[in-house]
Structure 1
Amino acid sequence: MTVETKAYLGLMGVAFFWGTSFAASKIALKDLPPMYLAILRFSIASIIFYALLGKYYRDYKIQRKDKPLLWFLGVLGISSYFYIQYTGLNLTTTVNTAIIIATNPIFTALLSSLLFHQERLSSNKLLGILLGFTGIFLIFAGGTRVSLGGATIKGDLLILCNSVAWAFFTVMGKSLVDSYDPFVVIAHINIYGTATMLPLAFSRSFIYSLMNAGLETWLAALYLALTCSVFAYYMWYRGVRILGASRTAAFNYLNPLFAVTIGILFLKESWNLFTLVGGAAILLGVYVASLKGGQVVFIKNKN
């Protein structure tokens, strides 16, 4: 099995876990405010990351010049990102959230090529973006009513900010994962991001909320920490290192596909022809965006 194949399989796992994360977050948000859920989730994840760093990377060093970027990514991709996401999720629907976050590969590809000049925005990637985004809307809007705006406009805008922030997080982290082990990078990002939220953990309100949280909330937080943080974040940046930011971001299109599949098989939710066609479009979009070649669009001349 090639390194690229392993990266693809890992990103499939990421898509599955992130595809179920909205439902798990909704469960936990019944008992905890957005910031408190973020603190609980990433405190658990950071303890695990710290233990693994101590066991397997005790002598691994990160240069001082790179630590400010790690701190910034911790704030961007952990503390502020999930406060905004969980707040938005409380103000809009999971359907709207999945659709809006699916715009992330578009922003990632544009940032990677136009602003940071890391990758070429190829015709394959553009076609894959179009197919994937079309599939998203076929699944969620086909035969159902999806309301973007109106009563959910505040939440929708927050989730859109999330999508743009994740694109910056993905692209800006590439230089770090090119220089260091991806696990070390993502572990430090999680720990630094959690550290910026920890002062709130000493408040009476936070302690009271944890003491009154139900078993479902604790299990949801543990699930989010282990699968959606420790495993998924590592595999995400490993994908960025091996496949590039744009091809990795294309796997975001699989998140809602897994969410719909789980709903049909286990929650007995309804499905129709649009679901099947949309799912096929998403899979085809990821495949096309992952193809190499045709790199002719939006290249900046270097004089």
Structure 2
Amino acid sequence: MVAGICFAILWASASAATKIGLAYTQPFVIAVPRFFLAGAIILFFAHIVLKKELPQRQQWKQLAIYGFLNISTYLGLYVLAMQEVSAGLGSLSVATNPVFISLISAIWFKEKIHISIILSLLLCFTGVVIAAYPLLQNSFATPLGLALLLISMFCYSAGAIYFSKCNWGNLHILTINGWQTILGGVFLLPFVLYFYNDAQNSFTLSWVGCVLWLAIPVSIGAVQLWLYLLKDNPVTAAFWLFLCPVFGFVIAAIVMHEPISLYTLAGVLFVIAGLYIVQQQKKKN
């Protein structure tokens, strides 16, 4: 239980940490250092401490594609979206990932799309719209931000399915995670250099704290806790995702002073209902 609660809190905290960082620097100036720092730490443990082997030829190609989908496009678009939406709404959208994964997986593998998946998607989409409604009116969210969030969720889902489809051989999970994070950061470097504007960046201690938090507790800590939960009980692990939007809005309210209304609560309940239905279907399968 402790591991599950810690995972939900850390995972949900990413949106608020990103919003704090955006007050000081441009989006990619937060994201890329985070990726390189997290990837370097992971690879240090993988290759120096654990002495795990390096990827082989075909695996480098797989890592590049996975890093592009899971890091460059997903988190790259996500950090751009966080300029336009509230931290709470960002964490709520992240919680919908299992539903998108189920839908895209069914299409990818040409499986029958069960009615429960469609219902889950409708509930989650409705929940996000309800939660976003007052935020759109009060300038806590924009249509562009919501569109970027939606696209980023699809990219993450595509990356997750690609990961499951690939043959990784004996490659250790830390090796995969470390290199895909580094490669994802490399793909974003041209955008950092092209759009960099010195006047929009202030490298304060707050920015350093934001990058460190996103790199270590979130990118490393939360991911390792998630893997531990999956290994312990995959069915139970998925239900910890239900707490992420709850913690996300609570953290956003405390740290960012974002409003929590009846729309917020209704939106969270709709998303949780959608997640519950899709997890029940997975359990049956």
| TM value normalised by structure 2 | 0.75
Match of 2:21 in 1: 28
Match of 2:217 in 1: 227
Matched, 1:259 2:253: no
- Residues 121 and 185 (structure 1), Cα distance of their counterparts in 2 relative to 1, 3 Å cut: farther
Matched, 1:39 2:36: no
Match of 1:300 in 2: none
Alignment of 1:1-303 (within 5 A): 9=3, 12-116=5-109, 144=134, 146-147=136-137, 152-176=142-166, 179=169, 180-198=171-189, 212-236=202-226, 252-262=241-251, 286=275, 289-291=278-280, 294-295=284-285
The alpha-carbon deviation at position 203 of structure 1 amounts to: 8.8
Specify the code of the residue in structure 1 equivalent to 2:44: A
Q: How far, CA to CA, are the matches of 2:250 and 2:9 in structure 1? A: 10
Any conservation in 2 of the 1:124–1:294 contact (CA below 8 Å)? no
The alpha-carbon deviation at position 261 of structure 1 amounts to: 3.3
Q: How far, CA to CA, are the matches of 1:88 and 1:276 in structure 2? A: 22
The alpha-carbon deviation at position 105 of structure 1 amounts to: 2.5
Q: How far, CA to CA, are the matches of 2:54 and 2:62 in structure 1? A: 15
- Quote the sequence identity (%): 23
- After superposition, give the CA deviation of every residue in 1:160-206 in whole Å (9 maximum; x if it has no partner): 11011011111111135874432221112112222334567789958
Q: How far, CA to CA, are the matches of 2:214 and 2:82 in structure 1? A: 15
Q: How far, CA to CA, are the matches of 1:85 and 1:151 in structure 2? A: 14
Choose 149-158 or 201-210, whichever is displaced more: 201-210
Q: How far, CA to CA, are the matches of 2:262 and 2:143 in structure 1? A: 29
The alpha-carbon deviation at position 102 of structure 1 amounts to: 4.2
- After superposition, give the CA deviation of every residue in 1:199-235 in whole Å (9 maximum; x if it has no partner): 677899588877x411111101100000221223445
- Residues 217 and 61 (structure 1), Cα distance of their counterparts in 2 relative to 1, 3 Å cut: closer
Choose 154-163 or 168-177, whichever is displaced more: 168-177
- Residues 154 and 232 (structure 1), Cα distance of their counterparts in 2 relative to 1, 3 Å cut: same
Any conservation in 2 of the 1:75–1:192 contact (CA below 8 Å)? yes
Q: How far, CA to CA, are the matches of 2:242 and 2:216 in structure 1? A: 22
Choose 197-206 or 17-26, whichever is displaced more: 197-206
- Residues 183 and 147 (structure 1), Cα distance of their counterparts in 2 relative to 1, 3 Å cut: farther
- Residues 284 and 64 (structure 1), Cα distance of their counterparts in 2 relative to 1, 3 Å cut: same
Q: How far, CA to CA, are the matches of 1:226 and 1:127 in structure 2? A: 36
Any conservation in 2 of the 1:122–1:294 contact (CA below 8 Å)? no
| CA RMSD across the alignment | 4.2
The alpha-carbon deviation at position 39 of structure 1 amounts to: 1.4
For structure 2, the 5+ residue unaligned runs are none
Any conservation in 2 of the 1:49–1:191 contact (CA below 8 Å)? no
Q: How far, CA to CA, are the matches of 2:192 and 2:135 in structure 1? A: 40
The alpha-carbon deviation at position 279 of structure 1 amounts to: 5.9
Find the residue that maps to 2:142 and give its secondary structure: helix
- Residues 32 and 121 (structure 1), Cα distance of their counterparts in 2 relative to 1, 3 Å cut: same
- After superposition, give the CA deviation of every residue in 1:129-171 in whole Å (9 maximum; x if it has no partner): 6666666667666xx5555999812222111110110111111
- Residues 164 and 155 (structure 1), Cα distance of their counterparts in 2 relative to 1, 3 Å cut: same
Specify the code of the residue in structure 1 equivalent to 2:180: I
What is the total number of aligned residue pairs between the two structures? 281
For structure 1, the 5+ residue unaligned runs are 296-303
Q: How far, CA to CA, are the matches of 2:94 and 2:227 in structure 1? A: 18
Any conservation in 2 of the 1:264–1:270 contact (CA below 8 Å)? yes
- Residues 194 and 114 (structure 1), Cα distance of their counterparts in 2 relative to 1, 3 Å cut: same
Any conservation in 1 of the 2:246–2:268 contact (CA below 8 Å)? yes
